[in-house]
Chains A and B, each alone.
Chain A
């Protein structure tokens, strides 16, 4: 905790961060698909935000301010991974950031219906999802456990994402809201 912040500022920052953190995490995930890399960046952003909070202009949107800091951290991450050609370059990062701002309200609505859609995934598909996302087991290991091939696991994950997409879009079209 930054010693320069007063106690009330710490409280204020905590409240801001709780609201902004999901959106910041979503934003990072767009640019950096690896979960652990994304979490590292999120933590660095949190540190920078804490260090610079005294500079934050209260008349601005906190989330927008943090997103600005996040872009720098993503670019710094990219420079550190310069040899990894699968990291978006600066122009593409800006392009994605620009479009993200425009559709963020739609993503917020999608967030509300996502739980219901995931609950509809059952059986073997559910097991694959849990092993991949929650238990972080590799596709090869999942294939071994389910006695199938890694390609089948890959296709299954792809199909599940399609099911989720269709479910979310259907609910958004019908104006469905999570209770």
Chain B
């Protein structure tokens, strides 16, 4: 917004709004119901101010104009007039006269016999001594009061400082184990106190004073709040809660999880979306909208999960088969510590395609139609596609700039939203099939959608979350927005793109495909005429901070696009923590 919201609201209420401001204002109102509420409150203050000041002005104008003529007052109904006992008025009058007379008599007596004070000269010595004693006494009293006050204040201060010291320095948890851990700030003591912490790499396990054990998976930002409570800003944790720690709470930006025993996982991604998975026992999840008090509360039991979006809206579902999402023991962390997405040194593009944040929060079997840019269920769209040379955005994923069906070489296809051209595009028919997808177990392909193959290249399977892939048919491409990724991970630098590419081993008819990796439209990797026998080829593309768009695509090669099924295996961005100056 060019103008701040306060400026726009003021301009609207005071009638000074320009047409441009009006457009901005309406856009802002439509963006979010919370904006409408803000405007309503401001408009209400505006109107109430006028009403109240107007009322005061009216009252002030008429306050001195009350009619003096009693006849102008409405007469009381005789029925309402108070009744007075006969003779009572006279009685009151006599009592008043007696009282007045007595008062006047007393005053007269006082006047006739005033108190006389003999003009005695003061005894200055005595006066001085009296004054001195009084002063000393007063000063002594003041000194005593001051001492008492000072001592009281000191005691109070001491108590306050002690309480504060104990509160801030008392440990609430203990670091009991770690694997490849790297922290945002140095851990000098295993005794952990209240306050924020960041686990940048690896895994760590902490045990709270009351007994709850939490396994942290980097990257993880959190805050220890008490001996039985923590706040998770970002990352994944798994909690084991013994009976002694029932009621253990994990607070997130949009939810509050209270454990009633015994094991659950919480995930918060970089956009404040969160998930709670219950592995054993029961938890209570309260969702919060816009930071206000808990909007809805629900109990989850073993096998259930709830997903909350960035508004705090919750959706309960059965636990998906993603047991690898949460690391549930340090033993698993040791054996699988180098697993993709867990070390926080790499960002998984297949997870981003799955609408995650690159660290495992996404889902498998998510596909984007290269013609429309929309996410779609498996095989639910027309399978044969002709791109007609268009580049389309993917509105439901901020990290994906767009998708396309390259048809080249003339005209050169557009491969980014900024209009970068793939000038080296080989000749293609412009026909593609299916979606760009991070499949789970089987790739479906073929113009009828009736062929399947495993996501395997040269004996390497890419079907698990720790070895994911992005499948695309020939003549399909996807472009990632590196700047959008950088904005979410401001403390990291994207160093390079790594992957393996190849034709699926089980692809029918032994197709031939070309693979490309483009950066801002420029070819940084190419592999021509790949077939099943070519195996998997490693890709290593360094990336500079000023480079924005990373495109992965495949074209049909020298033959037709039929049965051209290939994949980019383990497509990751390598990250590095920014060095502090």
Contact = CB atoms under 8 A, between A and B. Distances in A.
B45 A133 contact: no
B13 interface: yes
B29 A95 contact: yes
B53 A85 contact: no
Interface string A98-127: 011011001100110011001000000000
Contacts of A134: 50, 53-54, 56-57
Interface string A11-29: 0000000000000011001
A168 B42 CA distance: 11
Interface string B27-41: 001100100110111
11 contacts: A29-B43, A33-B13, A33-B43, A102-B37, A106-B41, A107-B44, A110-B45, A134-B53, A139-B14, A158-B6, A165-B41
Given A86-B17, A118-B53, A133-B50, A30 B10 contact: no
B30 A92 contact: yes
B545 interface: no
A99 B47 CA distance: 18
A88 interface: yes
Interface in B2-19: 6-7, 10, 12-17, 19
A29 B46 contact: yes
B13 A95 contact: no
Nearest to B44: A107
B49 interface: yes
B37 to A, nearest CB: 5
Interface in B285-321: none
Nearest to A29: B47
A164 B45 contact: yes
Given A100-B40, A107-B44, A134-B54, A154 B26 contact: no
B41 to A, nearest CB: 7
A170 interface: no
B22 interface: yes
Contact of B50 (A35, A102, A107): A35
Contact of A129 (B37, B42, B51, B53): B53
Nearest to A131: B53
A85 B41 contact: no
B14 A157 contact: yes
Contacts of A102: 37
A118 B50 CA distance: 10
A20 to B, nearest CB: 15
Interface residues of B, number: 35
- Majority secondary structure of chain A interface residues (helix, strand, loop or mixed): helix
Interface in A112-166: 114-115, 118, 129-130, 133-135, 139, 154, 157-158, 161-162, 164-165
Contact of B36 (A26, A95, A129, A162): A95
B95 interface: no
Nearest to B48: A114
Given A89-B26, A95-B29, A107-B44, 16 more contacts: A26-B44, A30-B40, A33-B12, A86-B22, A92-B29, A92-B30, A95-B36, A99-B40, A100-B40, A114-B48, A118-B49, A133-B54, A157-B14, A158-B10, A164-B49, A168-B45
B40 A154 contact: no
B52 interface: yes
Contacts of A161: 10, 42, 45-46, 49
A34 interface: yes
B42 A165 contact: yes
A48 interface: no
B10 A103 contact: no
B324 to A, nearest CB: 42
A102 B54 CA distance: 28
A118 B46 CA distance: 11
B26 A88 contact: yes
Rank and list the top 7 A-B pairs by shortest CB-CB distance, nearest first: A29-B47, A134-B53, A133-B50, A134-B57, A99-B36, A133-B53, A158-B10
A96 interface: yes
A96 B41 CA distance: 11
B57 A25 contact: no
B44 A110 contact: yes
A26 B7 CA distance: 22
Interface in A28-77: 29-30, 33-35
A162 B13 contact: no
Contacts of A89: 26
A85 B47 CA distance: 22
A99 B37 contact: yes
B22 A110 contact: no
Contacts of B33: 95, 99
Contact of A165 (B45, B50, B54): B45
